[in-house]
Amino acid sequence: MEYIKSKDIYLLMRDLLKLVHPRLMEHGSKVAYMVYLMLRERGRFEEFELADIVMLCTMHDIGAYMTEKGKISDMLRYESRDSMAHSIYGYLFFKYLSPVPDLAKVIMYHHMDYEQLQKVDYEYKQIAAYINIAEKMDIYSTSMGSQFDIYMFEKMAGTSLSPDGLELFYLVEGKYSIFDNIKSGEYKRDLHSIAEYMIFSNEDKKKFLEMLMYCLGFRSKSSVVDNVTTVCVCEDIAQEMALPDAERETLYYGALIHDIGMLAIPQEIIEAPRKLEPEEIQLLRTHVEIGEKVLSDKMKREVVNIGMAHHERCDGSGYPRRLKDVQMNMPQCILQVADVVTALVNPRSYRPDLPKEKVISILNEEVAKNRLKKQVVRTFVNSYDRIMKRVRTESAEIMKMYETLNMQYELISKKYKI
């Protein structure tokens, strides 16, 4: 079954990352639009290949989420002076976590001087050179307003920027009035039509969705470990309960995306080492509606319904819809249990992880209050040790992957002396 269309994967990635920093994704979209027009004019790639490139270009600065954190608004600085850090991180992110690792180096080289890039042996280096031009055009046109002149980079031709790329840019600007289209918002419609050509295999879509889940790690690695825990617990309970394959699959996707709205919640609240104030709790709870808003027109309804019911409770005391037992299906009830289990077996900012006996007694209390479904809790408790063993193995693997990523980051940073 198709849980999400290829085009919607692109829109979903873009819209969810927009939640973290709207300006950064807007910049990504504009750069993608410019590079698309340039490459199409060159005619080297097929339309479906261009679609992959558009996806990559939209996220070319994804590393800035990690390396800039609070300073992300200072785009001019990291895009002009300290450009290596986010390029390296973005490269590693795409190399290890995306379904298009072959294109990852485009991100690595997107700020490299043309002279240096000439010496690099890489199939797609031209794309990197074009991004370098497009992003300068976007950043300077945005910051300089009417003072901006597209020929202002002419003196950099042949040294910092590709002379052929600049010529091409002038040509497509003359043909398609890029800046007017950006100003009127028309370019967004064009990007939508390009997205129609996107064809991702089911495996690739799954990888992109998992990559989105890793984006939660921009905030804290522990959110990623939490997500993996929830997915594992769901899968194992569903297997023990012998749910039909189709339901197991929808549950998997529902679990994967259930907390994606957390990308919009400020880090201070997510990681507060104290009890939250009532208004902070209110804000935190909006993550469900935020996630639903972004997902609802893009993913299959069954999946969204599962994901967005993870804070509901059988007695109707949950949120946001106060659904009751009879209004919910088994996958929803499984995710609710898995989400509670995750909060108990993993450490929180205000307390360490809890021992098995305590976890089981809390779960039983929740069943006694008719908040969690008895059958699901019983299934989990009966296989506690086996399920937790798998959770620990998978979590350790994720942490190891982040370690590798950080180690590689250090190594490459040293090489480039940053």
Residue 135 binds to Fe ion (criterion: CB under 5 A): yes
Nearest distance in Å: CB 132, Fe ion: 9
Give CA–CA dist 300/313, Å, rounded.
23
Nearest distance in Å: CB 203, Fe ion: 27
Which range in 54-62, 223-231, 238-246, 366-374 contacts Fe ion by CB under 5 A? 54-62
Is the C-alpha dihedral spanning 400, 406, 410, 411 positive or negative? positive
Pick the closer one to Fe ion by CB: 79 or 366: 79
Residue keyed to tokens 């809890």: 354
Which range in 130-138, 143-151, 227-235, 360-368 contacts Fe ion by CB under 5 A? 130-138
Nearest distance in Å: CB 50, Fe ion: 19
Nearest distance in Å: CB 31, Fe ion: 6
Nearest distance in Å: CB 138, Fe ion: 7
Binding pattern for the stretch 72-111 against Fe ion, x by CB under 5 A and - elsewhere: -------x--------------------------------
Pick the closer one to Fe ion by CB: 135 or 236: 135
Binding pattern for the stretch 217-256 against Fe ion, x by CB under 5 A and - elsewhere: ----------------------------------------
Nearest distance in Å: CB 289, Fe ion: 11
Residue 312 binds to Fe ion (criterion: CB under 5 A): no
Pick the closer one to Fe ion by CB: 236 or 259: 259
Pick the closer one to Fe ion by CB: 5 or 105: 105
Pick the closer one to Fe ion by CB: 200 or 253: 253
Nearest distance in Å: CB 24, Fe ion: 8
Binding residues among 249-278 for Fe ion as defined by CB under 5 A: 259
Pick the closer one to Fe ion by CB: 7 or 79: 79
Q: What is the 3-state secondary structure (H, E, C) of the chain?
A: CCCECHHHHHHHHHHHHHHHCHHHHHHHHHHHHHHHHHHHHHCCCCHHHHHHHHHHHHCCCCCHHHHCHHHCCCHHHHHHCCCHHHHHHHHHHHHHHCCCHHHHHHHHCCCCCHHHHHCCCCCCHHHHHHHHHHHHHHHHHHHHHHHCCHHHHHHHECCCECHHHHHHHHHHHHHHCHHHHHHHCHHHHHHHHHHCCCCCCHHHHHHHHHHHHHHHHHCCHHHHHHHHHHHHHHHHHHHHCCCCHHHHHHHHHHHHHCCHHHHHCCHHHHCCCCCCCHHHHHHHHHHHHHHHHHHCCCECHHHHHHHCCCCCCCECCCCCCCCEHHHCCHHHHHHHHHHHHHHHHCCECCECCCCHHHHHHHHHHHHHCCCCCHHHHHHHHHCHHHHHHHHHHHHHHHHHHHHHHHHHHHHHHHHCCC
Nearest distance in Å: CB 408, Fe ion: 19
- With CB under 5 A as the contact rule, the residue among 3, 29, 34, 61 that binds Fe ion is 61
Pick the closer one to Fe ion by CB: 61 or 312: 61
Which residues, listed in sequence order, are joined to residue 324 by a DSSP beta bridge?
315
Please provide the distance, in angstroms rounded to a whole number, between the alpha carbons at the two ends of the chain.
47
Nearest distance in Å: CB 92, Fe ion: 14
Pick the closer one to Fe ion by CB: 259 or 312: 259
The tokens describing 186, both together, are 């028309």
Of 205, 208, 226, nearest in space to 217 by CA: 226
Give CA–CA dist 196/101, Å, rounded.
22
Pick the closer one to Fe ion by CB: 342 or 395: 342
The site for Fe ion, by CB under 5 A, has a size of: 4
Closest residue to Fe ion in the complex (CB) = 135
Nearest distance in Å: CB 83, Fe ion: 6
Residue 366 binds to Fe ion (criterion: CB under 5 A): no
- Count the residues in the chain: 418
The tokens describing 148, both together, are 């901006």
Pick the closer one to Fe ion by CB: 194 or 263: 263
Nearest distance in Å: CB 262, Fe ion: 7
Binding residues among 189-218 for Fe ion as defined by CB under 5 A: none
Pick the closer one to Fe ion by CB: 61 or 68: 61
Q: Which residues bind Fe ion (CB under 5 A)?
A: 61, 79, 135, 259
